Structure 1
Amino acid sequence: MDLLKQMNDALDYIEDNLDEAIDFNQVALIAQCSEYHFKRMFSFLAGIPLSEYIRRRRMTLAAMELKSNEIKIIDVAMKYGYSSPNSFARAFQQVHGLMPSELKEQSTSLKSYPKLTFQLTVRGVDEMNVRIIEKNSFSITGIKQRMRVIDNDVDPEVVKLWETMSEETINELANLSDLEPPGILHVLTDYTSEGEDEGEIDYYFGVATTQNTPDSFTRLEVPANTWAIFEVEGEWEAIEDTWQRIYSEWFPSSKYEHAEAPEIVSSQDQISEIWIPVRKA
């Protein structure tokens, strides 16, 4: 699949630049998707965040150099992007279980993490209920919060927002809902980062509406797009599981790619829908 080739080409670029500051704009260009989409796809396919994979690969190469060469620890630390021996030593110990200074003093096994290559594997026969629609531009009204992207998990600050949401606010939003996607919406858009670590993204708790936006809420304009809509029954864990399968199974085997617009989860009457913006690959 072209998507897997693009992902592997991007991994080749990362591998060739482990001893430099990795340009994630270039990674996104090679992968032909946004940095956010690439990191999300990588995490779901590999089972670990991209930042952790890069750290493990660098520490694997660093250990090989320290074991086989008469080279100073500070020089290896600088080579792999660490500004101080202490920060390098902490990362090294997390991966290998010992300090770099102990490497030549002990006969011990070191962890080795090989370069990854993605291949398409058919896993099971669980069906995914999906439909493709075209939808004109529309507006979302709700509460906006900047959230951290934490290994594809929910930011605790967003969980706190959910837990403290008043019944009055939820009812006010519900009364504004008059468009698809139906019901209360969870919306993710406008990802930014400054390097290898996970970044930040705008989160909206709101509804799709044609009505005016009250002063207490924020408005988001969503452009016209093609949407792949996945129906999910169950609690939030079922939504997360389906979201992972969209990235790890559906995208690699479909003829679509991410269109870099907001992603939306709608919930109504015990049924949820995941709206993913797509375009033909």
Structure 2
Amino acid sequence: MIAELNRLVELVEVRLNDGLDVAVLATELGTTEYHLRRMFSSLAGMPLSEYIRRRRMTVAAADILGGDGLLSIAVRYGYGSNEAFGRAFRSVHGVSVSDVRRDGGPLRTQPQLRFHLTVEGNITMDTRIIDRTGFRLVGHATRVPLIHEGVNPHIQAHIASLPASEHSRLRALSDTEPAGLLQVSADVDPDYTEGTELTYLHGVAVTGTDPAPDDLDAIDVPAGTWAVFRTEGEYPAALQEAWAATATDWFPSNPWRLRPGPSIVAVLDRADGFSTATCELWLPVERA
């Protein structure tokens, strides 16, 4: 995956003003747009779309200083008007086009990225690969913003709003893996951009042979392969560290890639107060 990401950066660079299509680039690289965007975001610390915008505005700054007409520059980099280009330029550089033409700056440069894999061998990931028939996730769903680190207060509030009896009722419905009460994230932004909305479901997995109760939300999950990562330690820090390590360590070293679908966290055991927990992180995967 590291080689594919570096080749992606090279292709982005030569197509900054050439109708850049990430889906086409993914096909050329022999992977999927979904996996490419998720891995780029995880390793670069920014969405691919944001990197492309920053690089375009970095290169466009030289054209601005060169005196080309503003509309021709805007069109060259995929913007339909001076206003749209000007907004993008200011969002990256913090100053207007006219300021740069008058004063020569200041400019904020986005360097061209280069990915490297550092192999330390000091982390063993407890992983299993399983093939699952289709199943259904049922429970209580809501829309929440994506937060990369720490406890998500919106998810906390959603869970706290459910009475204790509802947790017991959901557990009684569970009849297949992943077992027990589940934390399900679905409809996640492909770039994994912090602050974007996702669907969070607090519920359980069922075989799906019977209709879900009318008062519960449901997500049907088709048959497929899953990578299951077991984590132990401080909650949610250990879980979030393992999630990050799937991108930095596991996927670059294994012949699997992410496929579209929900990610699922099963809490197998936890301390009083949820200070520590043993969890399983379920990610939908396919052969690379």
Q: Distance in 1 between matches of 2:28 and 2:219?
A: 30
Q: Distance in 2 between matches of 1:86 and 1:124?
A: 50
Out of 271, 282, 285, the residue aligned to residue 275 of structure 1 is: 282
1:33–1:258 contact (8 Å) kept in structure 2: no
Distance 1:168 1:82, change over 3 A: farther
Partner SS state of residue 49, structure 2: helix
Distance 1:192 1:96, change over 3 A: closer
Distance 1:56 1:250, change over 3 A: same
**Which string of whole-angstrom CA distances, capped at 9 and with x for unpartnered residues, describes residues 189-228 of structure 1?**
456779x999765443221124732111133332333322
Q: What TM-score comes out, normalization by structure 2 length? A: 0.80
Structure 2 counterpart of 1:23: 21
Residue 43 of structure 1 deviates from its aligned partner by: 1.0
Partner SS state of residue 28, structure 1: helix
Q: Distance in 1 between matches of 2:190 and 2:47?
A: 14
Counting aligned pairs with the same residue, the percent is: 36
Distance 1:139 1:153, change over 3 A: same
Instruction: Point out the more displaced range, 146-155 or 253-262.
Output: 146-155
Q: Does 1:258 align with 2:247?
A: no
Distance 1:166 1:25, change over 3 A: farther
Residue 36 of structure 1 deviates from its aligned partner by: 3.2
1:265–1:274 contact (8 Å) kept in structure 2: yes
Partner letter of residue 235 of structure 2? E
Structure 2 counterpart of 1:57: 55
Q: Does 1:207 align with 2:204?
A: yes
Partner SS state of residue 229, structure 2: strand
Q: Distance in 1 between matches of 2:156 and 2:13?
A: 36
Out of 89, 100, 106, the residue aligned to residue 103 of structure 2 is: 106
Structure 1 counterpart of 2:218: 219
Q: What TM-score comes out, normalization by structure 1 length? A: 0.82
Instruction: Point out the more displaced range, 248-257 or 10-19.
Output: 10-19
Partner letter of residue 139 of structure 1? R
1:222–1:261 contact (8 Å) kept in structure 2: yes
Residue 124 of structure 1 deviates from its aligned partner by: 6.3
Structure 2 counterpart of 1:241: 241
Structure 2 counterpart of 1:75: 72
Q: Which runs of 5+ in 1 are unaligned?
A: none
2:138–2:218 contact (8 Å) kept in structure 1: yes
**Which string of whole-angstrom CA distances, capped at 9 and with x for unpartnered residues, describes residues 60-106 of structure 1?**
01111112x22123332332233443443333233323221122322
Distance 1:57 1:15, change over 3 A: same
Q: Distance in 2 between matches of 1:128 and 1:61?
A: 41
1:40–1:152 contact (8 Å) kept in structure 2: no
Distance 1:197 1:149, change over 3 A: closer
Partner SS state of residue 90, structure 2: helix
Q: Does 1:96 align with 2:93?
A: yes
Residue 33 of structure 1 deviates from its aligned partner by: 4.1
Q: Distance in 1 between matches of 2:60 and 2:17?
A: 10
Q: Distance in 2 between matches of 1:95 and 1:189?
A: 30
Q: Please give the root-mean-square deviation of Cα atoms over the aligned residues, in Å.
A: 3.3
Instruction: Point out the more displaced range, 268-277 or 115-124.
Output: 115-124
Instruction: Point out the more displaced range, 83-92 or 95-104.
Output: 83-92
Partner letter of residue 242 of structure 1? A
* Matched ranges for 1:33-182 at <5 A: 33-67=31-65, 69-108=66-105, 110-123=107-120, 125-145=122-142, 158=155, 160-182=157-179
Distance 1:221 1:94, change over 3 A: closer
Q: Distance in 1 between matches of 2:102 and 2:259?
A: 53
Partner SS state of residue 214, structure 2: coil
Structure 1 counterpart of 2:274: none
Q: Distance in 2 between matches of 1:126 and 1:137?
A: 32
